[in-house]
Amino acid sequence: MSQVIKTGKPFEFTPENIEKAKVFIAKYPEGRQQSAVMPLLDLAQRQNENWLSRECIEYVGEYLSVPYMRVLEVASFYTMYNLKPVGKYFLQLCRTTPCWLRGSDNLERVCKNKLGIANGETSEDGKFTLLEVECLGACVNAPVVQVNDDFYEDLNAENFEALLDKLAKDDVPDHGPQIDRINSAPEGGPTTLLEKAGDA
């Protein structure tokens, strides 16, 4: 099980997040409030600069009347929870076959050369953390990098480097395909079914 960092700083939900927590908990039947552990951990992580300290995990356990170890089991099992500090821009680089075949190795090199980081590392300025992950589910637009909550797709060394340059200036570009493509439509536009019904 992963080592959890104790910061010595008390944690509690903001008034706004208390209201959100109540909404999550209300979705479960009486006596089953512990089922809200995952959304409450996510809420705590978002409030705590995208990671969970021991204090966060303890707080969620107390909030739901669940033993600390039960909450830790959830937090350490799912990769969506970070048990150590991450950069302002958390880069999750997909390494599954479609992304690898379409050049995820080049994106990894950009991180190494431009940011000086490899898998699991954070840049010296604390702005970027890189984590290699399995399938992000956007294979048709490979290669893909998830930056915090957003997917940046159809990346290559050049447009990924440009993306990192913008993020370094806190200029967050539009997410989605980074080439001339609409969502997951074919590159260059449609090639079939070009006529509407009744045109023939």
**Domains, the chain, ranges and CATH?**
15-77 (1.10.10), 89-176 (3.40.30.10)
Residues 60-99 have pLDDT tens digits of 999 999 999 999 999 999 989 999 999 999 999 999 999 9
**131 with 137: CB under 8 angstroms?**
no
Give the SS3 label for residue 25. helix
| pLDDT given at position 2 | 55
For 55, residues 6+ apart whose C-beta sits below 8 A from its C-beta are 6, 7, 9, 10, 11
Q: Which residues of 12-32 are buried (b: 16+ CB within 10 A; e: fewer)?
A: ebeeeeeebbeebbeeeeeee
Per-residue pLDDT of 96-129, as tens digits, reads 999 999 999 999 999 999 999 999 999 999 999 9
Q: How high is the pLDDT of residue 1?
A: 47
Q: Which residue type does 124 have?
A: E
What is the C-alpha to C-alpha distance for residues 184 and 190, in angstroms, rounded to an integer? 11
Residue 42: Cβ within 10 Å count: 16
Distance from C-alpha of 54 to C-alpha of 7, rounded to nearest angstrom: 7
- Each residue's pLDDT tens digit, 152-175: 999 999 999 999 999 999 999 999
Exposure class string for 149-159: b at 16+ Cβ within 10 A, else e: eebbbbbeeeb
Q: Which has more confidence, 189 or 100?
A: 100
| SS3 (DSSP) at 121 | coil
- Rounded to the nearest 5 degrees, what angle is found at the Cα of 127, between the Cα atoms of 125 and 130? 110
Q: How many CA atoms lie within 13 A of 22 on its CB side?
A: 6
Q: What's residue 199's pLDDT?
A: 63
Q: What is the pLDDT of residue 154?
A: 96
Could you give the CA distance from residue 77 to residue 93 in angstroms, rounded to a whole number? 19
